[in-house]
Amino acid sequence: MAPKSVFYLFLLVLVVEFQTSFGQGGVNGAYWLADAGVPASDINSTLFTHLFCAFANLDPQTNKVTLPSASFSQFTPTVRRKNPSVKTLLSIGGGKVHPATFPAMAIQPSSRKSFIDSSISVARANGFSGLDLNWEYPRTTNQMADLESLLKEWRAAVAAEAASSGRSPLLLTAVIYYLSRINELSYPVQAIQKNLDWVNVMAYDFYDPSYSNVTRPHSALYDPAGLFSFGNRIELLLVAGLLAKLL
C-alpha cells in the first residue's frame, strides 16, 4: 500500500458527538500528524468537516501551549485552499508528552489559567476554529478532578473571549479512552458533557499479539460474540452518561 494511503488509514478516527448546548452538526474528522511525513497540502480536505492539527506542545516550565513548527501556523490556510469551509482544531499533547506534564499543569488554578489563556491566544493567532485536549491519561482520582476543573475553566474562558472579541466561540474537544473508566477511575462525564462540543474516542489498540487470547485481530466495529468491539465501548460510554447524537 502506498505511504499516503497508509497515512490516511492511520489518521481516520470515528468522531463521536454528543448532545450539548453548543449546537454542532455532523462531524467527519481526521488528525494530521506533522511528523508523519505527509504535507498538509496533500490532504483532500473536501472529504472532511473538521481537521485536527497534531500535536501542539505543552511547555512544562511555563504551562503554555506552543507550536512545534511553522507548518502549524500554515495548516489552516493550506487545508482551506481545497475546502474553504473546513474547520481546523489545534490538538494539544498526544502520547509522546511526559506523563507528569498535564497533571502538573492541571493541579493549580494559576497553571491551568496559563494553559487556557495561551491555548486561546495561539488558536486565534493561527486561524484555528477550535482546540483539542489530548491528555493520555488522567491516572488518579485527583487528576480526574483536575480535568473537571480544567474543562469548566476552559469553557468559561472561551465564552468570555468570544463575548469580548465578537467572534464565534472556539470549539472545544478532547480525546478520551475508549472506556468511561481507566483502572477503576471514572471520567468526569458530566463536565465533559457540559463543557465540550464533542469527544474523539480512541478507536484503536483493541488488539495486540500479547493479549490475543482476549481480543481477535482486529476487534470489530460490533462483535456480538465478545466485549472488545468499538460498538460495545460506545455503549458503555452512553451508559456512563454521554448523550449521543446521530451523525
Q: Which domain holds residue 216?
A: 3-240
C-alpha radius of gyration, the chain, whole number: 18
Residue 83: inside a domain, yes or no? yes
Residue 12: inside a domain, yes or no? yes
Which positions are catalytic?
Answer: 136
Tens-digit pLDDT string for the chain (247 aa): 333 333 333 343 444 444 344 445 678 888 999 888 889 999 999 999 999 999 999 999 999 999 999 999 999 999 999 999 999 999 999 988 999 999 999 999 999 999 999 999 999 999 999 999 999 989 999 999 999 999 999 999 999 999 999 999 999 999 887 554 555 678 888 899 899 998 887 766 555 556 555 555 555 566 666 666 666 666 655 555 555 543 3
Q: Which amino acid is at 189?
A: V
Alpha-carbon span 88 to 182, nearest angstrom:
29
Q: Is 8 exposed, middle or buried (0-12, 13-18, 19+ CB in 10 A)?
A: middle
Q: Are the CB atoms for 172 and 129 separated by under 8 Å? A: no
Residue 247: inside a domain, yes or no? no
CATH number at residue 80: 3.20.20.80
Residue 245: inside a domain, yes or no? no
Alpha-carbon span 92 to 55, nearest angstrom:
5
Number of structural domains (the chain) is: 1
